Chain A
Amino acid sequence: MRTKTTLRAAIGVAAFLTPLVMSQSASASGFSTARFGGEHGHPTTDNPTAIYYNPAGLAEDTPGFEKKDWRLKFMVDGNLALRWAGWSHAKSDSDSEPADASGANTGQADLFNVAAAPFAAATFQYKDLGIGVGFFVPFGGASSWGKNDDFKDNKSYAGPYDGVQRWHAIDGTIRSIYISLGVAYDILDRVSIGVSGNIVMNEVKTLRARNSDGSNDIDLEGRSLIDVSGLTGSLGVGIIGEIEPEKVWLGFSYQSQPGFGENTLEGTLTNFLAGSREQPADIKFLQSLPDIYRLGVRARPVKDVELRVFGDVTNWSVMDRQCVIPATQDTCELNADGSAKAGDSTILQLARNWGPAFGVRIGGSYWVVPEAELFLGAGYDSNAVPDSTLEPALTDFQKASLAGGVRIAVGETFAMALSYTHIFYAPRDTTGESVLPKLSPPSRTPDSGGEYTQTIGVINANVQLSF
């Protein structure tokens, strides 16, 4: 018990150091946010980000570095994301909007958020053995939507000021914080294998407008505040083969689902419904996060040039729902129409029905001089969220990104990199496609159809020390 408490405290400190995660969908699919390392974070890397992207890289030597029995590497990395997003919703058959509150549930909602995501890791190599520890946030989303000033100080309705999107999201964060320990071994001089174990702290804290019957009747409008967290574990494994010594590397890795299946987060639900504020109630929050396959190749065809191609398949199909149940209940078994089965007291089910997604990225580096590296990258990531369940709380799009940066090194000891990535999201129009209002309580939520837009800029900076 003490060990668990200490662990929670340690991760709590880590969580405090991560007050914001990168804006959702900052790079990859779903709410994957693994962008630490920038263009140098990939499944054939030899820097400390290998602890997540491919633990086999913990035993890999850096090309051109002096061969010695041991080496110690430290890396600190940070992403700062600037996110602009919008959602425009037209009135649907299921929407409720009284004449004296036109625009309460329809119109435009916008957000502009700034968010940060840190990464820190240290690795130690001794001959063919490499070990590492790290801290990072590979999954996360945070949003704080703008207000609807048309309803500021409204004398009749307290709710609409929080924006048209408030039935899906007002303020919220979802994130998974990893503390990882990895070990790798260079078994055949040209083949490294690695494994990592992760302690994962999942957190969800979110506020949305809510009515008991799942409608958006603003006469009844209330709020539901969910604050839950849970500890679990996961594993990563990987292999890197040096196809041509110090010239071509091929890597493959696998990161398991956190908890190897459905995660149970525990915490409280505080309702303010129909004018009455209830005491926080103990609840469980059920969700499943994906496993990820990564494949990459890195080549140095000539001395001053490196080329990289890598990609991932992320199994977001496990994100079929998020379920809020009483603390006394263990499962969320609902009928196909979203209604509760006899004896089931599920409070809320958020239908997701996400699908698998993939990403692919190409990039390259050119060393102007041995101390100065210029690098570029471009990528594409597919969309995991279907039109039918897309909502402002958790969005996804088809997206393309372009990145450019510079890395400055002082010998083998010190290096720092700075890069900028811009992510272009293909707008989506899901008007008339939302199934959420057609479900029965406790799965019914207001119509989330509409026009979605988003663009994100990510500044990445990191420092690496090597001894």
Chain B
Amino acid sequence: MPIRRFSFCAALIAAAGLTLSLTGCPDPEGAFEDFATRYDDIHGGTGTGTGGGGGGDACTPAAEGELDGEYMFSISARLSPKKAFALDATFVTHDDGAGGLTADLDLQPLSKDDQTTDVGTVLSFTALPIGADGSFTWDFGMVTLPGAANPITGSDVVTTLVLTGQLCAGDRAGFVCGEATGTITEPLMAELAPGSGFTMQAADGGTLPPPVINCAMDPAVY
């Protein structure tokens, strides 16, 4: 259909006896494809990334209860990687009896406006596995983040969410980061990955630090 429209438009212009640029004919699909081509030429068809590994130092596995406490939990989506969903996390670990740990995690969404005020309901996850080396993959299933906590569009977000990272004690205690993957189903179908990540920063004396967007601890901008 775009070709037929283009041809008709060109014919119109020719009929008018004008020597014009054919850019005078609207072709939204064509302009969309042109942008995609230019983007891929520049970026090689890959997305931008904000997630990451979690530091270069060796990981010292944590003991049960060693990392328990309150954290600023943030999720940075590639759609707007300089902003982050902020959640107040309560983290409790248990010995799984096989050399690793399990964790219970409560996430209280925080307001997109001040990153301190509770909004929506607490998301609770139990028995999240942590390997003997501290590595983990947590599948949260389908979660709903309220629009009041969404700094990007302000709309409710329904998405599957899988977090991958490594939980370490020692010098790396108090900060966890990794990749976030999943499929957003509302308000629109979209993939989180590549380029989305999460961080957990331990509270300091009961005060939550401001959210950061990546493993380099760059602060979120609102």
Contacts and interface: CB of A to CB of B under 8 A. Distances in A.
Contacts of A170: 28, 31
B120 to A, nearest CB: 9
Nearest to B119: A342
Interface string B84-104: 000000000000000000000
A173 B24 CA distance: 12
A330 B82 CA distance: 32
A158 B189 contact: no
Interface string A82-121: 0000000000000000000000000000011110100000
Contacts of B58: none
Contacts of B188: 269, 271, 278, 281, 326, 347
A441 B153 contact: yes
B48 A342 contact: no
A143 B27 CA distance: 9
A59 B217 CA distance: 77
B127 interface: no
Given A143-B26, A213-B151, A276 B12 contact: no
B25 A440 contact: no
Contacts of B83: 213
Interface in B1-18: 4-5, 8-9, 12-13, 16, 18
Contacts of A161: 38
A247 to B, nearest CB: 40
Contacts, number: 174
A209 to B, nearest CB: 8
A340 B23 contact: no
Contacts of A277: 36
Interface in B163-212: 186-191, 194-195
Contacts of B146: 342
Contacts of A217: 82
A340 B47 contact: no
Interface string A401-427: 000000000000000000000000000
Nearest to A440: B154
B123 to A, nearest CB: 16
Contacts of B80: 211-213, 215, 220, 274
Contacts of B191: 276, 278
A340 B31 CA distance: 30
Contacts of A171: 26-28, 30-31
Interface residues of B, number: 54
A339 B119 CA distance: 15
Contact of B12 (A116, A220, A223, A227): A116
A449 B180 CA distance: 38
Contacts of A345: 155-156, 186-187
Contact of A212 (B31, B43, B79): B79
A207 B189 CA distance: 19
Contacts of B190: 271, 273, 276, 278
B82 to A, nearest CB: 8
A212 B153 contact: yes
Q: Which 4 A-B pairs have the closest CB atoms?
A: A345-B187, A207-B28, A275-B47, A158-B38
27 contacts: A19-B8, A20-B25, A111-B24, A114-B16, A116-B12, A142-B26, A144-B25, A162-B31, A172-B26, A172-B28, A205-B28, A206-B28, A207-B31, A212-B153, A213-B80, A223-B35, A227-B28, A269-B188, A272-B39, A273-B79, A274-B47, A275-B78, A276-B191, A276-B194, A279-B189, A346-B187, A442-B155
Given A156-B42, A273-B79, A340-B147, 14 more contacts: A19-B5, A112-B20, A113-B26, A114-B9, A114-B24, A144-B23, A144-B27, A155-B42, A158-B43, A171-B28, A227-B28, A275-B78, A342-B146, A343-B147
Interface of A: 16, 19-20, 80, 111-114, 116, 142-144, 146-147, 154-159, 161-162, 170-173, 205-207, 211-213, 215, 217, 219-220, 223, 225, 227, 269-279, 281, 326, 339-347, 440-442
Interface of B: 4-5, 8-9, 12-13, 16, 18, 20-21, 23-32, 35-36, 38-39, 41-43, 46-48, 77-83, 146-148, 151-156, 186-191, 194-195
